[in-house]
Chains A and B, each alone.
Chain A
């Protein structure tokens, strides 16, 4: 089955700097890669997603890149703000329906 690894587990950046979170997956048939943001005590919320026919997608300060050959994808947050502080989860959906989640990255943006 699919296995998703996420790094780093914690990330601390200064406000205004960029943050990058990386994930790798094992199943080459995986075709959908969402990223979720979870604030403390809240539900995971989709912030951006990418499908396997696209290499990069951007939405304002957030971008995701996908390298199908290397089987890894990354989340990039530019001009970070304190409200970006949260736990971020990557996920991969393989040829079946299941979303397999990474272990999460706790991002802290220092004012």
Chain B
């Protein structure tokens, strides 16, 4: 198994530009998580999908952030417009979940992350 795949691995952009991060979860996993990691705030959960449906997006910082999961093997996190304070490492993780709304989640496996720098 290739594990969770993220692209790009590095992204440098200018303030105001649109940024799209991509994630392919582990095959067979039905839950997908987007995290942001910074020195100041540590690891923060941004949004969680179960069976391609967004369950909780309360961690999404602003309306500039949006996420989609059009099918079980692909998700995107978009920032529009980007700002310097969005600079961080963005991780995608997947797991196998059960129970109502997939709330009983098993081990989360992280992708390699996307290092985003907004100038």
Residues of A in contact with B (beta carbons under 8 Å apart): 34, 36, 42-46, 49, 89, 93, 96-99, 101-104
Q: Is B12 in contact with chain A by the CB < 8 A criterion?
A: no
- Determine if A97 and B103 form an interchain contact, defined as CB atoms under 8 angstroms apart: yes
Instruction: Give per-residue flags for B65-88: 1 if the beta carbon is below 8 A from chain A beta carbons, else 0.
Output: 000000000000000000000000
- With A44-B91, A97-B31 known, 8 other A-B pairs at CB within 8 A are A44-B43, A89-B42, A97-B48, A97-B55, A97-B97, A97-B105, A99-B45, A104-B42
- Determine if B45 and A98 form an interchain contact, defined as CB atoms under 8 angstroms apart: yes
- What chain A residues lie within 8 Å of B45 (beta carbons)? 98-99
Question: Please, how many residues of chain B have a CB less than 8 angstroms from a CB on the other chain?
Answer: 20
CA distance A98 to B113 in the complex (A): 19
CA distance A48 to B45 in the complex (A): 21
- Determine if A46 and B109 form an interchain contact, defined as CB atoms under 8 angstroms apart: yes
- Determine if A46 and B107 form an interchain contact, defined as CB atoms under 8 angstroms apart: yes
- Determine if B48 and A43 form an interchain contact, defined as CB atoms under 8 angstroms apart: no
Shortest beta-carbon distance, B60 to chain A, in Å? 14
Please provide the chain B residues from 36 to 64 with a CB less than 8 Å away from any CB of chain A in the complex. 42-43, 45, 48, 55-56
CA distance A45 to B109 in the complex (A): 7
Given contacts A43-B112, A46-B109, contact A101 B103 (CB under 8 A): no
- What chain A residues lie within 8 Å of B48 (beta carbons)? 97-98
- What chain B residues lie within 8 Å of A45 (beta carbons)? 110
- Determine if A96 and B103 form an interchain contact, defined as CB atoms under 8 angstroms apart: yes
Shortest beta-carbon distance, B98 to chain A, in Å? 11
Query: Which residue of the partner chain, among A43, A97, A98, contacts B102 with CB atoms under 8 Å?
Result: A97
Shortest beta-carbon distance, B73 to chain A, in Å? 19
Given contacts A43-B112, A98-B48, A99-B45, contact A34 B91 (CB under 8 A): no
